[in-house]
C-alpha cells in the first residue's frame, strides 16, 4: 500500500494493523529512496508473515535484493520476530539499538518480554525468537542513508527499553517512524511489563515534540498520518506538560 512517494505499508497483522500479514505483526514500512530500499520493523515472523511481507514488496515492483537495510525500532516480538527471516530473504544489513542488537544475538526472550507475552496469549504457544547475529548498533543521532532518504536514530525509551524512533528526511518531507512511543491523536501504549516506564515515555515525547514540523507520523500500530503530524505529537506533549499520562492506544 503506497502511502507517500517514499513510503509503503507492507505489513501489519491482526493486532492494531491493516490485516496485510498474518499473526500479531506491527506495521511494517518499506522506504524507497530511489534505487535503494529499507524496511522499518519486520513483524512477528510467525508462519506466513515474512512471505506475505515479501509478496507486498515484490507486488509493488521491487526486488527483494534491493532491500539493503532493515531498521528495528525495539525488541518486542511483533517488531523483531521476523528479522532473521527477512534478513535472510533480502541479504539486508540490520540496524537497531545496542540493547535490541544484543537481544537478537542471544534470542533473549526474557529481556524482550517475549516469554511473558507468549504466556499471556499475545503470541502463539510455539512462537520463538530466532537468533540473529551481526545486527549493527545505532547510537543517538546516527544516520543511515537510503538513496535520497536519510533516517536518523532517536532514542525514545518508554514503551520499551532500547526503543528507537527514526526521523526520515527526504527532499520534500520530514516523517517520523515512531515505533510504539506515540500514535495518532497523541496516544501511547503502556503495558505491565519490565522496561515500560511512564517517566521515560514522557521524556521521549518531549524530545519528539522538539523536533519541529513533521509531515507524516508512521507508528507501529493503527492509523498513519500523512500530513500535519506535529499536532498529534504535540497533543501527547500537552498531557505530559500537565503532568498527565497521554491517553491509551
pLDDT, tens digit, for every residue of 50-99?
999 999 999 999 999 999 999 999 999 999 999 999 999 999 999 999 99
d(CA 199, CA 245): 9
What integer pLDDT is reported at residue 85 of this predicted model? 98
Q: What is the mean pLDDT of residues 92-119?
A: 98
Average pLDDT over all residues of the chain: 97
pTM: 0.97
**Where do the DSSP E strands lie in the chain?**
7-11, 28-32, 37-40, 67-71, 93-96, 136-137, 143-146, 149-155, 164-170, 173-179, 216-219
Compute how many other C-beta atoms are within 10 angstroms of the C-beta atom of residue 198.
Answer: 12
Instruction: Give per-residue pLDDT as tens, 196-248.
Output: 999 999 999 999 999 999 999 999 999 999 999 999 999 999 999 999 999 99
Average pLDDT of 97-108?
98
∠ CA 236-100-230 to the nearest 5 degrees? Answer: 20
- What integer is the mean pLDDT of 16-42? 93
Confidence of residue 17 (pLDDT cuts 50, 70, 90): confident
CA distance 151 to 219: 15
Return the higher-pLDDT residue of 17 and 13.
13
Q: What is the pLDDT of residue 16?
A: 67
Report the alpha-carbon distance of residue 80 to residue 99 in Å, rounded. Answer: 13
Q: How far apart are CA 61 and CA 68, in angstroms?
A: 16
Class of residue 227 by CB neighbours under 10 A (exposed 0-12, middle 13-18, buried 19+): exposed
Dist CA 93 CA 62 (whole Å):
17
Cell 520499551 belongs to 160
pLDDT at 7 over 90: yes
- The torsion of the CA quartet 237, 239, 243, 245, rounded to 10 degrees, works out to -100
| C-alpha cell read off for 110 | 526474557
For residues 222 and 186, the answer to whether their CB atoms sit within 8 Å is: no
Amino acid at each position: 500500500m503506497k502511502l507517500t512517494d517514499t513510503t509503503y505499508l507492507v505489513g501489519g497483522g491482526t493486532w492494531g494493523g491493516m490485516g496485510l500479514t498474518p499473526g500479531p505483526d506491527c506495521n511494517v514500512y518499506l522506504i524507497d529512496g530511489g534505487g535503494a530500499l529499507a524496511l522499518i520493523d519486520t513483524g512477528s515472523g510467525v508462519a506466513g508473515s515474512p512471505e506475505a511481507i515479501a509478496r507486498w514488496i515484490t507486488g509493488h515492483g521491487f526486488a527483494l535484493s534491493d532491500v539493503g537495510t532493515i531498521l528495528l525500532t525495539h525488541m518486542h516480538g511483533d517488531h523483531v520476530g521476523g528479522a532473521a527471516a527477512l534478513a535472510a530473504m533480502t541479504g539486508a544489513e540490520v540496524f537497531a539499538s545496542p540493547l535490541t542488537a544484543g537481544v537478537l544475538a542471544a534470542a533473549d526472550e526474557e529481556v524482550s518480554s517475549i516469554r511473558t507475552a507468549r504466556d499471556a496469549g499475545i503470541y502463539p504457544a510455539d512462537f520463538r525468537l530466532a537468533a540473529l547475529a551481526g545486527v549493527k548498533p545505532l547510537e543517538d543521532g546516527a544516520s543511515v542513508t537510503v538513496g535520497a532518504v536519510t533516517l536518523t536514530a532517536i532514542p525514545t525509551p518508554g514503551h520499551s527499553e532500547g526503543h528507537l524512533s527514526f526521523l526520515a528526511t527526504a527532499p520534500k518531507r520530514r516523517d517520523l517512524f515512531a515505533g510504539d512511543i506515540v500514535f495518532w491523536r497523541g496516544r501511547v501504549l503502556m503495558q505491565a511489563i519490565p522496561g515500560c516506564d511512564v517517566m521515560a515515555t514522557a521524556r521521549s515525547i518531549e524530545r519528539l515534540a522538539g523536533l519541529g514540523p513533521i509531515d507524516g507520523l508512521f507508528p507501529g500500530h493503527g492509523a498513519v498520518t500523512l500530513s500535519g503530524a506535529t499536532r498529534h505529537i504535540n497533543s501527547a506533549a500537552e498531557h505530559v506538560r500537565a503532568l498527565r499520562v497521554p491517553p491509551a492506544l
